[in-house]
A = this chain, B = another copy of it.
Amino acid sequence: MASSNFVAEHSFSVEGKSWVLNSPDPPGFLQKILHSIKKNVASDSQKKHSPSARVLALLTTIFPVLTWGRNYKPSKFKNDLIAGLTLASLSIPQSIGYAGLANLDPQYGLYGSVVPPLIYSVMGTSQELAIGPVAVVSLLISSMISKLVDPAADPVSYRKLVFTATFFAGTFQALFGILRLGFLIDFLSHAAIVGFMAGAAIVIGLQQLKSLLGISHFTTKTDVVSVLEAVVNSLRTSWYPLNFVLGCSFLIFILITRFIGKKKKKLFWLPAISPVISVIISTLIVYLTRADEHGVKIIKHFKGGLNPSSLNQLEFNSPHLGEVAKIGFICATIALTEAVAVGRSFASIKGYNLDGNKEMLAMGFMNIAGSMSSCYVTTGSFSRTAVNVSAGCESAVSNIVMAITVFISLQVMTKLLYYTPLAILASIILSALPGLIDYNEAYHIWKVDKVDFLACAGAFFGVLFASVEIGLLVAVGISFGKLILNSIRSDVEELGRLPGSDIFCDKAQYPGVLDVSGVRVIRLNSGSFCFANANPIKERITSYLTEKDQATIGIILDMSNVMSIDSSGIVALEEIHKKLVSRNVHLAIANPRWKVIHKLKIGGFVEKVGSDCIFLTVNEAVDVCLSSKSATC
């Protein structure tokens, strides 16, 4: 190496070092929290100072309808009307079916398609989301509350707990929104959701066997083994094949219309209204043939009219209150996860952004209001949102149209549904399930990451063979376990110089890189250098000395990946330094991050070890190491 080069490198290295050591202190813990609060408050009030402007800003934040409503044109209404009517024709049979899945009378499902969509339409930010009861949340509610109160033995107490859980779910959702905890729903990893949804779909499908086979006595458990046992037992004793024939024929009809709808985009309305057609035709068949006297199970009488108040049914002094709050929390999370996933994917297609926190606030208020007007937990439905979009909805007005239509049906049509066979509702639910099972995505996850797939499979089999909650728990556990293991890895990797440059790269990733003789460049492969990995990392680094030749005169630690260090990490660095000094080997630290160099300074490391061994880049550190070698030799 030419000496002129040396001088140039040296002067630069001195400068680079001063960059590292003289950087300003990063903001402290309290400063950061204050800054974050200030930012949130400022963004809420839009920094307007007149009180009326502030109130207006707050109102438009809470009610996005005040913004988009002003630009709403009559031409849009035509599209929303068509979409809303299409939506209602799918909502009515689905809502009745999901109410059955939640062990509630049919009207409670329909109520959920009236009040919550109206509230969402003025508070929500999504233009497409179709609000109402959904299959997975119905299953969750019934499987968890059935453990506290038997819905068959004491339907009134059961219903009270359902409303109370709904109230809690709404409160949690609103709190998430107000406290800007939007990130909480991200804690269910994509893989876990795929597995959970697929498992839930199969469990929901199995629950439909009750109606499809006309079984009277069924289990309240949801795992595959219990359900199949109950089915086999019933098949031995009493079941009514007519239900099965009826259900299967209309299931096939619905599936065929869906197939046609997929092939010809113009016939999108056919799969959307085929459920309501099935209901009408099958009701007529049963009414005309009086098949209910031959074992075909029918809805029978249910109460119509306006949503009754359920304020007096919220039970806050129930002995199960803690459990109910927990159920509310789980339902809140799952409901939000489904809604935000659906909402985001359609928003991304249309090119606008869904504000997670506003969505949570809207869902929270809609469920709190729902819990006071005889609704159970509602959210954005996957299948109905897709129908809404393909029917050409332009705004949340389609939800209003849908709600009004369902409301009118509740006034005039409940008597017409007396003879509707339960098997038809089962077939409508079954037809919506394949959308929840995403084989392709599961295969994709398997291909990309085996541990992610484990979380997916854990959620799937947990839901299938244990219970819905255990499936969720397994999924969250595996996801976070992986995260922890990833972040405390004690990997280090050796770097080499990219030929003809001053860039240093991983030797394993780029086999063509060149060693620097006498100097080993080691990069810490972990974002935290902390209690959980300080000792193994220390051992790995010092083992580079004993394993290999004695020609090493310097070890350079590239710290560019280390984003946080704690006192254990600093102690480990000090011990590495001591060990290397005892063997006459230089230790150099390259590119410490802002927080890390700050910790090294206040932790006394820089003082103890001297600022000579800290460099801005690996290249500098290598050059200084080599020049010191030539100086001593």
Chain A: residues with Cβ within 8 Å of the partner, total of 81
The answer for the CA separation of A535 and B511 in the assembled complex, in Å, is: 34
Partner among B182, B480, B512, B561 whose Cβ is within 8 Å of the Cβ of A560: B561
Cβ of A68 < 8 Å from any Cβ of B? no
Which residues on the B side are within 8 Å of A351 (C-beta)? 582
Q: Which of A505, A508, A528, A567 counts the most B-chain CB atoms under 10 A from its CB?
A: A567
The answer for the CA separation of A257 and B566 in the assembled complex, in Å, is: 37
Shortest distance in angstroms between A561's beta carbon and chain B's nearest beta carbon? 5
A190-B531 contact, Cβ under 8 Å, with A593-B506, A594-B506, A599-B448: yes
Contact between chains at A527 and B530 (CB < 8 Å) = no
Which residues on the B side are within 8 Å of A188 (C-beta)? 531
Within 8 A of B (CB), among A175-194: 182-183, 186-192
Contact between chains at A532 and B487 (CB < 8 Å) = no
The answer for the CA separation of A145 and B451 in the assembled complex, in Å, is: 39
Contact between chains at A563 and B593 (CB < 8 Å) = no
Shortest distance in angstroms between A528's beta carbon and chain B's nearest beta carbon? 6
Contact between chains at A487 and B490 (CB < 8 Å) = no
Bitwise, A347-383 to B at CB < 8 A (1) or not (0) is 0100101001000000000000000000000000000
Partner among B23, B192, B348, B575 whose Cβ is within 8 Å of the Cβ of A348: B575
Contact between chains at B29 and A532 (CB < 8 Å) = no
The answer for the CA separation of A415 and B597 in the assembled complex, in Å, is: 62
Contact between chains at B567 and A452 (CB < 8 Å) = yes
Contact between chains at A486 and B29 (CB < 8 Å) = no
Contact between chains at A486 and B527 (CB < 8 Å) = yes
Cβ of A484 < 8 Å from any Cβ of B? yes
The answer for the CA separation of A528 and B488 in the assembled complex, in Å, is: 11
Which residues on the B side are within 8 Å of A412 (C-beta)? none
Partner among B186, B356, B479, B483 whose Cβ is within 8 Å of the Cβ of A487: B483
A444-B567 contact, Cβ under 8 Å, with A533-B186, A560-B561: yes
Which residues on the B side are within 8 Å of A73 (C-beta)? none
Contact between chains at B526 and A187 (CB < 8 Å) = no
Residue in B closest to A532 when the chains form the complex, CB atoms: B186
Partner among B12, B450, B594 whose Cβ is within 8 Å of the Cβ of A29: B450
Contact between chains at A510 and B23 (CB < 8 Å) = yes
Cβ of A445 < 8 Å from any Cβ of B? yes
The answer for the CA separation of A12 and B502 in the assembled complex, in Å, is: 13
A567-B532 contact, Cβ under 8 Å, with A560-B560, A593-B509: no
Which residues on the B side are within 8 Å of A186 (C-beta)? 531-536
Partner among B190, B530, B560 whose Cβ is within 8 Å of the Cβ of A567: B190
The answer for the CA separation of A26 and B567 in the assembled complex, in Å, is: 32
Cβ of A564 < 8 Å from any Cβ of B? yes
Bitwise, A483-516 to B at CB < 8 A (1) or not (0) is 1101111100000001001010110111110000
Bitwise, A94-121 to B at CB < 8 A (1) or not (0) is 0000000000000000000000000000
The answer for the CA separation of A140 and B93 in the assembled complex, in Å, is: 61
Residue in B closest to A491 when the chains form the complex, CB atoms: B563
Contact between chains at B560 and A511 (CB < 8 Å) = no
Which residues on the B side are within 8 Å of A617 (C-beta)? 503
Which residues on the B side are within 8 Å of A610 (C-beta)? none
Cβ of A463 < 8 Å from any Cβ of B? no
Which residues on the B side are within 8 Å of A452 (C-beta)? 566-567
Cβ of A552 < 8 Å from any Cβ of B? no
Cβ of A439 < 8 Å from any Cβ of B? no
Cβ of A24 < 8 Å from any Cβ of B? yes
A448-B602 contact, Cβ under 8 Å, with A19-B510, A484-B480, A509-B593: yes
Contact between chains at A563 and B566 (CB < 8 Å) = no
Within 8 A of B (CB), among A553-580: 560-561, 563-564, 566-568, 570-571, 575, 578
A16-B498, A19-B505, A186-B532 known, 19 other contacts, Cβ within 8 Å? A12-B501, A24-B509, A187-B532, A189-B530, A189-B532, A190-B567, A191-B531, A447-B602, A448-B567, A448-B570, A449-B566, A483-B488, A483-B530, A484-B484, A486-B527, A505-B616, A508-B594, A526-B527, A560-B561
6 pairs of A and B residues whose beta carbons are closest in the complex: A527-B527, A487-B487, A189-B531, A509-B594, A190-B568, A29-B450
15 contacting pairs across A/B (C-beta < 8 A): A19-B510, A24-B509, A28-B450, A29-B450, A187-B531, A189-B532, A190-B531, A190-B566, A190-B568, A449-B599, A452-B566, A506-B594, A526-B563, A527-B527, A560-B561
